[in-house]
Amino acid sequence: MAITGRPKVSVIGGGHVGSTLAMRIAEAALADVLLVDIVEGMPQGKTLDLSESRPVVLNDVTISGTNDYADIAGSDIVITTAGVPRKPGMSRDDLVEINSKIAASIAGNIKKYAADAFIIQVANPLDAITYVISEITQVPKNKIMGMAGVLDSARYRYFIASALGVSVKDVQGIVLGGHGDTMVPLPRFTWVGGAPLPDVMPAEQIEAIVERTRKGGAEIVGLLKTGSAYYAPSAGAFEMAKAIIKDEKRILPVAAHLNGEYGISGLFVGVPAVLGKNGIEKIWQLPLSESELTALRDSAQHVKALVDKVNELGIL
Predicted confidence (pLDDT) per residue in 41-74, tens digit: 999 999 999 999 999 988 899 999 999 999 999 9
Shared fold status for 8-146 and 149-313: no
Percentage of the chain surpassing pLDDT 90? 87
**Mean pLDDT, residues 161-187 taken together:** 96
Cβ 189 vs Cβ 286: under 8 Å:
yes
- Among candidate residues 16, 179, 257, 302, the one labeled active-site is 179
CATH assignment of 8-146, given 1.20.140.10, 3.40.50.720, 3.40.50.150, 3.30.9.10? 3.40.50.720
Mean pLDDT over the full length of the chain: 95
3-class SS of residue 314: coil
Give the tens place of pLDDT for each residue, 93-151.
Answer: 788 888 999 999 999 999 999 999 999 999 999 999 999 999 999 999 999 999 989 99
Q: Domain residue spans in the chain?
A: 8-146, 149-313
Tell me: the pLDDT tens digits for 11-41?
A: 999 999 999 999 999 999 999 999 999 999 9
Known catalytic residue: 16? no
* pLDDT for position 100: 93
For 58-123, the three-class secondary structure string (H helix, E strand, C coil) is CCCCCEEEECCHHHHCCCCEEEECCCCCCCCCCCHHHHHHHHHHHHHHHHHHHHHHCCCCEEEECC
Count of CB atoms within 10 A of residue 313's CB?
A: 13
Does CATH number 3.10.129.10 belong to domain 149-313?
no
What pLDDT shows up at residue 89? Answer: 73
